[in-house]
Structure 1
Amino acid sequence: MGDFMQGFVHTAARTVGVAGLAVASVMAGTNAQAASGGGCGTYYAGTGGQYVKIKACISSPGWGVGRPDAYISLAKEHPACNIAIRTVRTGNSQVVSNKVFPCPSGAVNDKHFTAPDFSDTTAETGEAYANYTQINWTSSGTWTLPYRSPWLNLP
């Protein structure tokens, strides 16, 4: 190959390599802007006919947005109840998402419930959010403990 063609091939290869690095950098983003934490915490409560499993979860479906949800398992003979999903913000314990559902009748296994998404409107750094999920046994007026998801930090 002539000197001209050899130089052209090397220059083209370098240009493609630099462009590839630039695209990879844009696609990867920076870790400072990504949400961190979140996930699920699983808890068991009750015995016999009141057996319940609560999986309190929180995630980030997009930049600056949080999504609280829960997976509930109830034994066949469970009493009448409601499921409360509340998300709070650290610092002032402000409730940023809240939803109450009637319990389904009969046995359920990991039935999915989702509370409204919320945004980090204060744009403060270092704030975290957690989903607290509880079962209210309406016939007795008692509640399970407020079971918590791991903390979620939004960008």
Structure 2
Amino acid sequence: MQIVCPSCGAANRLPEDRDPAAAKCGRCKNAIFAGAPIEVDAAGLDRHRRLTRGAAVLLDVWAPWCGPCRAMAPNYAAAAGKLEPGVRLLKLNSEAHPAPASALGVSGIPALILFRDGAVVARSAGLMSAPQIVDWTSRALS
């Protein structure tokens, strides 16, 4: 598995014979997984999509003015604890970074976009509970 460090952006290869949940970055020595979504901008999203291998990337496109987005935020955070380390959870503020959201064809928020090896494998729009996020992601990846 190769995953991007949330602290410094370095790509890290994780040995298969060790627990990935305990992994530390080879460059900055910070934890690779924190059990929480990572805020990204356009460059960060691109880096995670290009460099993550062997794990999926789940993106939540949201905006601060969106009530359903704010309601889903704790659910998305709770889902991170269940889905990591097999899925990296990212958050993209579509108000602060409209270009990537537009390029991904987001027409309604909150929007979830699931990537595997950089390619979109599933999308969903609308408020979900943590169990629904986990279930939807698991089904999309199976």
Q: Verify same fold: TM over 0.5.
A: no
| TM-score with structure 1 setting the length | 0.27
Larger relative strand fraction = 1
**Largest Rg, 1 or 2:** 1
| TM-score with structure 2 setting the length | 0.28
